[in-house]
């Protein structure tokens, strides 16, 4: 009985010692905070400030899941992971930012249809999309990404009423033309037909091209 009591006492002392070692002693404290993956417009210090972690803080008191949840509330953050390294006292924060594929209702939209605030300057070449839902916006962006570079470069805006009614406003040789693409099917053929129509002298004054049925296009 005494032996058992002694073993229990020793176990309690060891446990208490470990708690002190990890939670109170100056050995396992934050010595450095590393942030990787954030957009270049976002400073490391701004991310660190958001986490609330500071140098000298006890590593044991840092809750990775709580910090991950806090950073995930930033709209441009797609995912984040936080790791504590006990050997060297470092905390590593890995951020995966959302990548904008278009502009929707004044904000950025990624390939998953998530709408977010851009962290810095708006990238050049993003299409401006008008649609009732993010899903329709993505359909319009899908068409945009499949257009030839010269057509994309002269695109002013995209709109989608439904998946079979996508249109764009294009700048072409000093004039503005509305192109009704229809659905995202046969995009290559529709681009070829559009270029052929615009190259014809009799179409130099047209303002609309309907390519919904590329084998029977309509110009106005």
Listing DSSP states for 152-212 in one string gives HHTEEEEEEEETTEEEEEEEETTEEEEEEEESSTTHHHHHHHHHHHHHSGGGTT--EEE-S
Q: If you ran DSSP here, which 8-state letter would residue 50 be given?
A: H
Output phi, psi for 46, to 5 deg. Answer: -65, -35
How many Å separate Cα 3 from the centre of its chain? 62
Contacts of 170 (CB under 8 A, 6+ apart): 151, 154, 155, 156, 176, 177, 178, 179
Stated length of the chain: 220
Residue 96 corresponds to which tokens in the numbers above?
């995966």
List the domain boundaries for the chain. Answer: 28-97, 102-219
- Helix, strand or coil for residue 63? coil
For helices 44-51 and 64-72, the axis angle rounded to 10 degrees is 120
Report the C-alpha gap between 58 and 53 in whole angstroms. Answer: 10
Output phi, psi for 157, to 5 deg. Answer: -160, 165
Residue 48 corresponds to which tokens in the numbers above?
């660190």
Q: Tokens 């009985």 appear where? A: 1
Instruction: Evaluate whether the domain defined by 28-97 bears CATH number 3.30.465.10.
Output: no
Structure confidence at residue 20 (pLDDT): 46
Could you give the residue ranges of the DSSP H alpha helices within the chain?
Answer: 2-23, 44-51, 64-72, 134-145, 149-153, 187-199
pTM for the model: 0.76
From first to last of its 220 residues, the chain has per-residue pLDDT tens of 555 555 555 554 454 444 544 554 556 789 999 999 999 889 999 999 999 999 988 888 889 999 999 999 999 999 999 999 988 989 999 999 999 999 999 899 999 999 999 988 888 888 999 999 999 999 999 999 888 888 888 899 999 999 999 999 998 888 899 999 999 999 999 999 999 999 898 988 889 999 999 999 999 9
């Amino acid at each position: 009985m005494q032996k058992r009591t002694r073993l229990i006492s020793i176990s309690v002392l060891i446990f208490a010692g470990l708690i002190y070692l990890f939670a109170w002693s100056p050995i396992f404290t934050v010595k450095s905070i590393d942030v990787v993956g954030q957009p270049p417009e976002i400073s490391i210090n701004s991310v660190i400030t958001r986490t609330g972690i500071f140098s000298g803080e006890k590593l044991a008191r840092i809750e990775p899941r709580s910090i991950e949840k806090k950073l995930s509330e930033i709209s441009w953050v797609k995912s984040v992971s936080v790791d504590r390294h006990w050997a060297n006292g470092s905390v590593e924060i890995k951020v995966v930012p959302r990548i904008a594929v278009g502009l929707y209702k004044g904000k950025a939209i990624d390939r998953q249809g998530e709408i977010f605030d851009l962290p810095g300057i708006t990238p050049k070449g993003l299409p401006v999309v008008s649609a009732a839902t993010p899903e329709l916006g993505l359909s319009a962006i899908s068409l945009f990404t499949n257009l030839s570079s010269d057509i994309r470069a002269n695109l002013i805006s995209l709109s989608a009423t439904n998946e079979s009614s996508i249109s764009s406003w294009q700048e072409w040789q000093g004039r503005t033309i509305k192109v009704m693409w229809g659905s995202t099917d046969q995009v290559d053929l529709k681009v070829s037909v559009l270029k052929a129509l615009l190259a014809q002298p009799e179409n130099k004054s047209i303002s609309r091209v309907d390519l919904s049925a590329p084998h029977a296009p309509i110009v106005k």
